[in-house]
């Protein structure tokens, strides 16, 4: 029996170790989106490029994954209907042109979206690509049994997909949905002839050995080690023929291991490089490129909770924090955010200027709201209570903790006491049923990033009052508990207005409201860093989640071997 | 012997069931749970969508029903679907086993070869310079975390000296070559071996020291046997008894050590898979590996018992 005790004990040790690892694991955040780069000299054909990933992809059918590395890998093998280029413009891919209201691709009532498809496109197995594949993809997504780790939001607006002919696909929508073209069908279309007979597409072999239409063909996937792709000699896009013979995607779960492999030349390209590593790599014989993402870092203000439900107090928080100096100090070279929309978006409101740092004005606003320093302790108070707020972020994120410390100092000068209470990621982002502080509104200020897509609706749509979390709507996305009637109706209008010039006016106004009401203290847009061996050329980055793979790697090339 | 084995094997059955319940419940109760992947803020699922997914995954059934389904499938070797690797969890685990066995076998053999002479000699030459050096090294081996040692080894041997590949099991894109494979094996095996030698040589040292003072040693010496013979024939044999059981018990637990080694060296084995599965909440794989490790611990415990009685006739199996 003694042996049993020993085995149980040692096994329990092992299990407790696992539990520690699980808790640590929850500190890792999901990886979101992306930028642009300089032009290159004459590309050379041939050669192999080794791309380093910090995570192994889970599923190469992009509609069956939410993991960034899986999504971008599928981009090398497949094509969507459209893609988003480094200038944040939606660009045709398998579609001949991007449907707009102007070219008739989007009907006047916004209920019909028509894509003319490229002709002469073949799948890697030689079968012709036709409208049936697009219809199959749309229908599959909207099948209940198909689990999509990313929301089906948007796709669920499709009432019916029709093929007018082999190269014309027509989507009938349940209601007008303006972001349709800029958000949907950018991931690889699924091949109908391969997947048609599958009982469960979530478990199809295709997910680990995809057949696409893209510039690279899938060759092999060695578990835990690497994925090999080879050039598609018959790539349909004559203007953009791939240069590389092979792309090898190598996984390493440890940042330091990848860093060493980049330095030794075992890995040619690594993206999503953490800022602390960029500085180290700048000294090496490698090139570092940075581009602006749509990912927005900001302090989220719980606008539903006193005293933060008072607009003047929220504005005072913005004026009292020297955001420009903060960004300069902690994130040198990064872009201060003025509104929630990135500067490169057509939707950005250029008339707005960043709130200035003005502690005196902050005090005035607080005074208007009834907060003055009556007891001369340096902090403002009201009804005998000091203005004390708490800020939270993910514990252990050094840069964010430094930002909190700066805010603490700045706010003290304006008479606001700021306390810091950080959580591990899974607690902070815990959902409503787990009593997560953000989801349930049990916080004052929270510093974290949002990663929207290439349409203004994907950020603003989260802010409507019907998205405020409650028992009846536990997964509501409005963690700012912000409520504004005008914004609610503008968001609905923006979603159903198809003329871009009309939409621009709507989103300009939404930005004014958010600016004025201050449910966020905007900090900066994230920078996406890619490091590559100097023999690698032609990699450019989209500010969206398509990242470096927005062009399917067709423009990548390496110097000829000496 | 046969009866002993039968009894021990029968005893493990309730143990395995108990452990499987524990594993199942614990993983359900970890913050987040199996729905974490789908409930992340960025995925923007509506409540109805989440409910639909929960239903598809069978998570809306009572816990005991879920457990029953899982157990009956697991008993038939079906550990569920690993969404992280897009294949059945059993297949995902099976594909990683050879790499881990290769790593472990190489490290254990090397460690035994090194630890025995070091342990024996440091005990025999207690408090000499050799003993002190060996002791300091094994304390270092104990104290230095495997992942740190791994990173330093990569910096020195791959980056600065350029002798060895940094990580992975082979150079991707090249046809299989034994030499290339062997080169990739050197760093991870060395790091793992060092930790094992540190622990086992200390263990053997104290076990030899205990024997050195025994009467039978004095007798052997009095009989006029050479020191060499006393050491190798008498002391060695008796000190190896606890050592062998120690190794047998430790081997399955070495999987813990391989998690770090495999992660640092991108070695595509079970340790790396477990790490990946923990990070990505791939519960099917985590459950599968935990059960397999629990089984291994029990099997190796039985082996240890058998070995113990074989090496030491005074101990009976009953």
Distance from CA of A560 to the nearest CA of B (A): 17
Q: Which pLDDT score is estimated for A3?
A: 44
Contact B56 A147 (CB under 8 A): yes
pLDDT of B225 over the 90 cut? no
Q: Does B286 touch chain A (CB under 8 A)?
A: yes
Closest CA to A142 of A109, A181, A190: A190
Where residue A315 falls (left for φ over 0; alpha for ψ -120 to 50; beta otherwise) is alpha
Closest CA to A25 of B267, B122, B230, B286: B286
Which member of A11, A18, A223 has the closest CB to residue B268? A223
Q: Which pLDDT score is estimated for A522?
A: 95
Q: How far is CA A6 from CA A12, B16, B241, B249, in A?
A: 10, 15, 17, 9
Residues of chain A above pLDDT 70, percent: 93
- Token pair for residue A536? 């690698």
pLDDT of B35 over the 80 cut? no
Give the range among A87-91, B148-152, B245-249 with minimum mean pLDDT.
Answer: B245-249
pLDDT of A275 over the 80 cut? no
Which member of B45, B267, B278 has the closest CB to residue A21? B278
Highest mean pLDDT (candidates A164-173, A256-265, B105-114, B130-139): A164-173
CA dihedral for A412, A415, A419, A425, sign (positive or negative)? negative
Which member of A4, A151, A260 has the closest CB to residue B43? A151
Q: How sure is the predictor about A269, in pLDDT bands with cuts at 50, 70 and 90?
A: very high
Secondary structure percentages of chain B, helix, strand, coil, to 5:
80, 0, 20
Which member of A226, A434, A474 has the closest CB to residue B172? A226
The residue that leads in pLDDT, A218 or B65, is A218
Q: How sure is the predictor about A14, in pLDDT bands with cuts at 50, 70 and 90?
A: low
CB atoms within 10 A of CB A433: 14
Which residues of B are less than 8 Å from A266 in CB distance? 165-167
Q: Does A263 touch chain B (CB under 8 A)?
A: yes
Could you give the CA distance from residue A192 to residue B315 in angstroms, rounded to a whole number?
A: 68
Strand partners, A168: A116, A165
Query: Long-range contact list for A44-47, CB < 8 A, 24+ apart?
Result: A44/A243, A44/A557, A44/A558, A44/A559, A44/A560, A45/A243, A45/A245, A45/A557, A46/A243, A46/A244, A46/A245, A46/A558, A46/A560, A47/A243, A47/A244, A47/A245, A47/A246, A47/A557, A47/A558, A47/A559, A47/A560, A47/A561
Q: Which pLDDT score is estimated for B142?
A: 81
Contact B173 A50 (CB under 8 A): yes
Could you give the CA distance from residue A420 to residue A319 in angstroms, rounded to a whole number?
A: 20
Could you give the CA distance from residue A315 to residue B313 in angstroms, rounded to a whole number?
A: 83
Which residues of B are less than 8 Å from A474 in CB distance? 47
Q: Which pLDDT score is estimated for B314?
A: 72
Mean pLDDT of chain B: 84
Q: Which secondary-structure segment (H or E) carries A125?
A: none
- The end-to-end CA distance of chain A, in Å, is 68
Q: Is A386 helix (H, G, I), strand (E, B) or coil?
A: strand
**A93 and A83 in contact (C-beta within 8 Å)?**
yes
What's the ipTM?
0.83
A451-462: pLDDT as tens digits: 888 899 989 988
pLDDT of B34 over the 70 cut? no
Residues of chain B above pLDDT 90, percent: 12
**B265 and A253 in contact (C-beta within 8 Å)?**
no
Q: Which pLDDT score is estimated for A231?
A: 97
Which member of A23, A207, A477 has the closest CB to residue B44? A477
Q: In whole angstroms, how large is the CA radius of gyration of chain A?
A: 25
The mean per-residue pLDDT over the stretch A509-530 comes to: 94
Q: In whole angstroms, how large is the CA radius of gyration of chain B?
A: 24
Closest CA to A348 of A153, A480, A543: A543
Which residues of B are less than 8 Å from A48 in CB distance? 173
Could you give the CA distance from residue A300 to residue A428 in angstroms, rounded to a whole number?
A: 13
Closest residue of chain B to A31, computed from CA coordinates? B42
Give the range among A16-25, B75-84, B108-117 with minimum mean pLDDT.
Answer: A16-25
B228-256: pLDDT as tens digits: 888 877 888 788 888 888 888 788 778 76
A215-238: pLDDT as tens digits: 999 999 999 999 999 999 999 999
pLDDT of B88 over the 80 cut? yes
Could you give the CA distance from residue B35 to residue B54 in angstroms, rounded to a whole number?
A: 7
A364-394: pLDDT as tens digits: 999 999 999 988 889 999 998 999 999 999 8
Q: Does B42 touch chain A (CB under 8 A)?
A: yes
Could you give the CA distance from residue B33 to residue B40 in angstroms, rounded to a whole number?
A: 12
pLDDT of B9 over the 90 cut? no
Window 11-40 of A: residues touching B by CB (8 A cutoff) are 11, 13-15, 17-19, 21-23, 25-26, 28, 30, 32
Q: Does B57 touch chain A (CB under 8 A)?
A: yes
**Model-level pTM?**
0.83
Q: Does B37 touch chain A (CB under 8 A)?
A: yes
Q: How sure is the predictor about A31, in pLDDT bands with cuts at 50, 70 and 90?
A: very low
Spell out the residues 6+ positions from residue A398 whose beta carbon is closer than 8 angstroms to its own: none
Contact A477 B87 (CB under 8 A): no
Closest residue of chain B to A225, computed from CA coordinates? B268
Q: How sure is the predictor about A341, in pLDDT bands with cuts at 50, 70 and 90?
A: very high
Q: Does A153 touch chain B (CB under 8 A)?
A: yes
Which member of B22, B45, B172 has the closest CB to residue A151? B45
Q: How sure is the predictor about B13, in pLDDT bands with cuts at 50, 70 and 90?
A: confident
Q: Which residue has the tokens 């005090």?
A: A363
Measured at the alpha carbon of residue A132, what is the angle toward residues A128 and A135, in degrees to the nearest 5?
A: 140
**A293 and A528 in contact (C-beta within 8 Å)?**
yes
Q: Which pLDDT score is estimated for A16?
A: 57
Q: Which pLDDT score is estimated for A18?
A: 54
Could you give the CA distance from residue A233 to residue A215 in angstroms, rounded to a whole number?
A: 8
Distance from CA of B22 to the nearest CA of A (A): 10
Mutate to test the interface with B, among A475, A478, A526, A545 (most CBs of B within 10 A): A475
Residues of chain B above pLDDT 70, percent: 93
Q: Does B165 touch chain A (CB under 8 A)?
A: yes
B159-208: pLDDT as tens digits: 889 899 988 888 877 777 888 888 999 999 999 898 888 888 888 888 88
Which member of A59, A223, A254 has the closest CB to residue B95? A223
Q: How far is CA A67 from CA A132, A207, A369, B84, in A?
A: 27, 13, 45, 10
The mean per-residue pLDDT over the stretch A121-142 comes to: 96
- Token pair for residue B249? 């018990």
Mean pLDDT of chain A: 89
Q: Which pLDDT score is estimated for A166?
A: 95
Q: How sure is the predictor about B317, in pLDDT bands with cuts at 50, 70 and 90?
A: low
């Amino acid at each position: 029996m003694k042996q049993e005790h020993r085995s149980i004990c040692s096994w329990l040790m092992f299990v407790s170790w696992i539990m520690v690892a699980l808790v640590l694991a929850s500190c890792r955040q999901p990886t979101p989106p992306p930028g642009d780069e300089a032009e290159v000299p004459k590309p050379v054909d041939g050669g192999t490029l080794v791309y380093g990933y910090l995570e192994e992809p889970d599923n190469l059918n992009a509609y069956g994954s939410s993991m960034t590395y899986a999504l971008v890998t599928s981009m090398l093998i497949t094509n969507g209907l459209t893609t988003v280029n480094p200038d944040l413009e939606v660009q045709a891919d398998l579609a001949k042109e991007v449907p707009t209201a102007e070219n008739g691709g989007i009907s006047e009532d916004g209920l019909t979206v028509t894509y003319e498809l490229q002709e002469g496109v073949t799948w890697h197995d030689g079968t012709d690509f036709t409208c049936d594949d697009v219809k199959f993809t749309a229908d599959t997504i909207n099948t209940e049994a198909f689990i999509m780790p990313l929301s089906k939001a948007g796709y669920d607006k499709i009432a019916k997909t029709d093929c007018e002919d082999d190269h014309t696909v027509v989507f009938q929508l349940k209601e007008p949905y303006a972001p349709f073209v800029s958000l949907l069908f950018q991931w690889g279309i699924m091949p109908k002839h391969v997947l048609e007979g599958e009982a469960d597409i979530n478990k199809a072999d295709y997910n680990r050995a995809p057949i696409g239409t893209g510039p690279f063909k899938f060759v092999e996937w060695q578990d835990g080690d690497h994925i090999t792709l080879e050039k598609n000699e018959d790539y349909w896009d004559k203007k953009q023929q791939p240069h590389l013979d092979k792309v090898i995607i190598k996984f390493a779960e440890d940042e330091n291991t990848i860093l060493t492999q980049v330095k030794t030349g075992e890995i040619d390209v690594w993206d999503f490089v953490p800022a602390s590593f960029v500085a180290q790599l700048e000294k090496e014989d490698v090139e570092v490129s940075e581009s602006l993402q749509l990912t927005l870092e900001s302090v989220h203000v719980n606008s539903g909770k006193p005293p933060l439900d008072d607009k003047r107090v929220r504005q005072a928080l913005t004026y009292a924090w020297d955001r420009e100096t903060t960004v300069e100090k902690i994130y040198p070279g990064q872009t201060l955010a003025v509104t929630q929309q990135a500067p490169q978006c057509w939707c950005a409101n250029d008339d707005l200027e960043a709130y200035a740092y003005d502690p005196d004005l902050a005090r005035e606003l607080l005074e208007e709201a009834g907060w003055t320093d009556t007891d001369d302790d340096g902090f403002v108070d009201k009804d005998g209570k000091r203005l004390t707020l708490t800020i939270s972020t993910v514990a252990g994120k050094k840069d964010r903790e430094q930002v909190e410390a700066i805010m603490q100092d700045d706010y003290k000068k304006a008479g606001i006491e700021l306390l810091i209470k950080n959580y591990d990621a899974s607690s902070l982002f815990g959902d409503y049923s787990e009593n997560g502080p953000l989801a349930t509104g049990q916080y004052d200020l929270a510093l974290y990033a949002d990663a929207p897509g290439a349409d203004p609706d994907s950020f603003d749509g989260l802010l409507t009052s019907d998205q405020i979390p409650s028992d009846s709507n536990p997964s509501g996305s409005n963690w700012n508990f912000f409520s504004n009637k005008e914004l609610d109706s503008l968001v609905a209008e923006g979603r159903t207005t198809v003329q871009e010039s009309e939409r621009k006016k709507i989103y300009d106004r939404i930005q004014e409201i958010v600016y004025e009401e201050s449910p966020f203290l905007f900090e900066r847009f994230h920078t996406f860093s890619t490091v590559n061996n100097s023999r690698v050329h032609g990699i450019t980055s989209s500010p969206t989640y398509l990242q470096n793979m927005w062009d399917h790697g067709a423009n990548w090339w390496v110097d000829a071997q000496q | 012997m046969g009866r002993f084995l039968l009894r021990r094997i029968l005893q493990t059955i309730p143990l395995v069931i108990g452990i499987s319940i524990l594993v199942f419940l614990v993983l359900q109760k970890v913050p987040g749970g199996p729905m974490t992947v789908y409930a992340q803020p960025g995925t923007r699922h509506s409540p109805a969508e989440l409910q639909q997914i929960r239903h598809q995954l069978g998570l809306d059934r009572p816990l005991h029903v879920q457990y029953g389904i899982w157990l009956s499938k697991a008993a038939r070797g079906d550990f569920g679907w690993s969404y992280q690797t897009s294949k059945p969890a059993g297949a995902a685990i099976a594909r990683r086993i050879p790499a881990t066995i290769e790593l472990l076998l190489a490290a254990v053999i090397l460690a035994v070869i090194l630890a025995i002479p070091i342990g024996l000699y440091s005990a025999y030459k207690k408090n000499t310079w050799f003993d002190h050096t060996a002791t300091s090294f094994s304390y270092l081996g104990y104290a230095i975390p495997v992942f740190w040692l791994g990173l330093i080894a990569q910096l020195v041997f791959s980056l600065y000296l350029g002798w060895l590949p940094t990580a992975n099991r082979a150079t991707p894109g090249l046809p299989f070559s034994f030499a290339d494979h062997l080169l990739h094996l050197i760093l991870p095996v060395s790091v793992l071996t060092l930790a094992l030698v540190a622990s086992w040589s200390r263990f053997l040292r104290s076990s030899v020291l205990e024997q050195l003072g025994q009467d039978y040693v004095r007798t052997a010496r009095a009989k006029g046997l050479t020191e060499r013979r006393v050491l190798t024939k008498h002391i060695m044999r008796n000190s190896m008894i606890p050592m062998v059981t120690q190794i047998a018990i430790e081997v399955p637990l070495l999987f813990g050590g391989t998690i770090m080694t495999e992660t640092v060296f991108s070695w595509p084995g079970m340790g790396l898979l477990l790490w990946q599965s923990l990070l990505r909440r791939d519960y099917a794989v985590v459950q599968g590996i935990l059960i397999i490790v629990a089984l291994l611990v029990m099997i190796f415990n039985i082996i240890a018992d058998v070995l113990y009685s074989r090496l030491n006739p005074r101990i009976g199996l009953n």
